[in-house]
Structure 1
Amino acid sequence: MGDHQRDLAFPPPGHCLPRTSSMSVTDSVTAVHDFRVTGYSLLDGMGVGRYVSSRVFTVGGLEWAVRFYPDGSTAHCVGNASAFLYYCGRDKDVRARFTLNLMEKDGRLSQVTNAYMKHSFSPASDNWGFIKFIEKSKIQGSPFLHNDCLTIRCLLTVAKESRTQDVETSLITVPKSNLHKDFENMLNDGEGADVTFDVGGKLFRAHRCVLAFRSPVFRAELFGPMKEKATQCINIDDMEPLIFEALLHFIYTDTLPDHYKDGKAAAMQHLLVAADRYGVDRLRLICENKLSETIDVQTVATTLALAEQHHCSQLRQACIQFMASPNMLAPVIETEGFKHLVASCPFIMKDILDRVSSIWNDRQIDKR
């Protein structure tokens, strides 16, 4: 009997059992909603349990709202303001993760609440948040109270229903392609390099054939009628060495260097200019996307000027949309970047004001 059981458990030598695999997949949707609370001084003292609410917004196909209690949500939080996320749905339960943060004048987030909260929302448990969101004494004179206004940013991730799907199985594990790493090593090692660039006194060695196939501008410079006379060393003016280094890294690997992946506005702006200059379209679009995700009061005007100069229509639209958002235009106008924008692109004001007017008209229609 024991031998028979072992035969069932272990296949004979050279025989493979059929194998299947599956996995559970849970997708999510993440979005940001900014709730601007105007006239804070008039709300202070309105009473415990009384609140002002954002408009209802949609994330993951479900409706949500942020509520701010200037004098706290309950008597247990005397001296504190409260903030809660409310689930407006009535027909299903949903799991979510979120943060509520106060925003400073320049668009930076305060450290009042910087931890994610998780909650399973349902019609019976439709709110979750911070009973002691911030001490009221810390609001007056703080960097996040500007012109008697507070802005609460809600970063919300909503989990969708889990699903099960098959996983392809194989007896042989094939490693992922590391072609981009090979090209990165080729760039870093300089083996076989046949052209040198002088950028601000720093020398970069590269391979003409790689540059030519990745950039139409390099192709013309290195092989076309307009090719440089002294092709052994080419001077690059009006570009920082770090930006040119990032450009080369992308040309060889089709990826951003690690220290560019956080999408800091200044670096992305310079890299966008370089990508446009050398016709590296995918890099230009990546820069556009990252800039559109990090627009704030301090950077929107300079980013819009850049979008105008380099014909980045999607980035231009994102900037105008941000500036036309309720109560955003006034603080943007105060920045140095806006003064530069008006000086370099005076005609852009008409588009901004047209967008503001359109949003205002839509809001009036919604109120009817």
Structure 2
Amino acid sequence: MSDMARMVVELKLEIDKEPSCSKSVNETVNGSHQFTIKGYSFAKGMGSGKCISSDIFTVGGYDWAIYFYPNGKNPEDSSMYVSVFIALASDGTDVMALFELTLLDQSGKGKHKVHSHFDRALESGPYSLKYKGSMWGYKRFFRRTSLETSDYIKNDCLIMNYTVGVVRTRLEGPKQYSIIVPQSNMGRGLKEIMEAEVGCDIVFRVGDESFRAHKLILAARSPVFRAQFFGLVGDRNLDEVMVNDIDPTIFKNAFMQAMLLFIYTDKLPEVHDVMSSSSSTSTSTNIIQHLLAAADLYNLDRLKVLCESKLCEELSAVSVATTLALAEQHQCVQLKEV
């Protein structure tokens, strides 16, 4: 092989190779600790350089503690202030972390005093704690006379919150596999069983209409059916339920077609798919209203909320009165507000 041909082959081999790649991900593991000092007035005379410490708490695999100095950390430059620090309380070398100190406003106005290292991370980067006992905080955090007349102290109680973000670095390499996971078809399978009436063991009778279903599936989805079929006072041998005072047309649409479809598939069906010719006088809103009432009756909370959402979308001058009455009757707070 000539030198030119060999060079072409080698070049092609280099081009055909898949490029390698990796990713270094820097992120923080965050955690917070609330430190409450009750009886603040009894602590403020303890002297400069003396502190009150919190319980030790863990964030990012390291132990931490908060130190509050009522008369300042150093007598020469902070005796007129309160000092607050957080310290590494476990062994560690060059632990990189971000901090946020919040003094809680107890007046209810939400005017908390916040000092956040997180906001300055892009400018100064995380703080490095070199050894156990390394501290981050403020020697002159708050002038003591101003603090004692502020809303940060109430009933002789001071509350502060420290958030720690420990910086972690991890290396991500290329994934060596890719498996496509199909969508769940459990709902479709149960729907097919329901429509084919395979293995049905309970019959609902409404007038001249009868509807077949499965007690186990109904009991798994509704606590009302579970109690009726398998509860302490339930009848395990029950194979027929008579439903009185419900119009068969409404029952067939709102219960049989829609509610059972939800029970078996966990989805709210399209109303036009379940409305039959015998219910041509019923509107979509009317069907959803009856379905909401049925959902409330059988403790199907998700279906009830789905119906609330649907009624909100279809709200009009024609339906607002009946929808408001329905919301009041079935304790639908969100629907009532809309």
TM (normalized to structure 2)? 0.48
